[in-house]
Amino acid sequence: MLITADQRQNLESLIELAARGRALQHEHDNPEDAGALAELVAKHKDVTAQKASAAEVVETLRTQVADLTAVIEKKNRLIEKKTAELNAGTGLTSRDLVNLQDEIAGHRDKVAELEETELGVMEELETAEAALSEIETGLAEVTAAGRAMQTSIKDRKTEIAGELSEVEDAARKLKAELPDQLVRRFERNVAQGGPGAAILSGPHCQACGQEISGMTWHGMIGNDVNETYECEECEAVLLRRA
Ligand SMILES: [Zn+2]
């Protein structure tokens, strides 16, 4: 089908627009940062598990400290009670007094031993709390980075949607200036996943790569440059390079 020079201009613009539209659609469906976001999501899962186990360690040590403190307090109350009994000395023989003194001394030794143990556990707890806090900081960073990336992907998608609708509007205007039959062929090829139309710079369909026979190609070269063709293989609209 022969088209006018103006229609040729429109068809060339339409080919460029369709390519732009395909690139935008591809970017929309395959965001550049999708891989990086997936990595962040995996890292977030990892660090969350690390945090849970670090928190468990801290919790266990805190319980140990609390238990030791309770035991020490109980012992100290006992020491106070026994010391009061010793000081009162009511109804106690000198042997009782010696025994009581020994008992108190034994409790005091035990308290000293427990306090030393508690001190060791407190040091462990401090280290564990510092590790947990470091993991929490890391987790907050991963979370923030993930959110920022999600937002940026979403924003870019919105931007692309806007650009795509501009491309569609412009394509609609160009199609209105082209013969209906040519537009139908163009759209049929697009529906099949093709570019719609292509410019030939040699004896190969630029849409599907199909070779054009030497005879056909020579015929095309002899024809008007604004003559359009249909690829026998993919049915795209073809136009020889001017
Ligand atoms: Zn083709």
Distance 241 CA to ligand 1 centre (A): 15
Distance 229 CA to ligand 1 centre (A): 10
Average pLDDT score over the chain = 96
**Residue 19: CA count within 13 A, CB half-sphere:** 11
Give residue limits of the domains in the chain.
5-26+179-240, 31-176
Predicted TM-score (pTM) of the model is 0.71
Distance 24 CA to ligand 1 centre (A): 23
Q: What is the pLDDT of residues 144-179, one digit of tens each?
A: 999 999 999 999 999 999 999 999 999 999 999 999
Distance 150 CA to ligand 1 centre (A): 39
The confidence score (pLDDT) of residue 242 equals 82
Q: Which CATH number fits domain 31-176: 1.20.1260, 2.60.120, 1.10.287, 2.60.40?
A: 1.10.287
d(CA 199, CA 13): 11
d(CA 80, CA 150): 63
Q: What is the pLDDT of residues 76-106, one digit of tens each?
A: 999 999 999 999 989 999 999 999 999 999 9
Distance 90 CA to ligand 1 centre (A): 115
Q: What is the DSSP annotation of 61-122?
A: HHHHHHHHHHHHHHHHHHHHHHHHHHHH-TT--HHHHHHHHHHHHHHHHHHHHHHHHHHHHH
Distance 207 CA to ligand 1 centre (A): 5
Is it the case that residue 230 has pLDDT exceeding 90? yes
The two tokens of residue 179 are 């013969």
The confidence score (pLDDT) of residue 49 equals 98
Long-range contacts of 55-61 (CB under 8 A, 24+ apart): 55/132, 57/128, 57/131, 57/132, 58/125, 58/128, 58/129, 58/132, 61/121, 61/124, 61/125, 61/128
Mean pLDDT for the stretch of residues 177-190: 96
Mean pLDDT for the stretch of residues 220-229: 94
% pLDDT > 90, the chain: 98
d(CA 2, CA 15): 17
Distance 188 CA to ligand 1 centre (A): 13
The confidence score (pLDDT) of residue 83 equals 96
d(CA 6, CA 213): 29
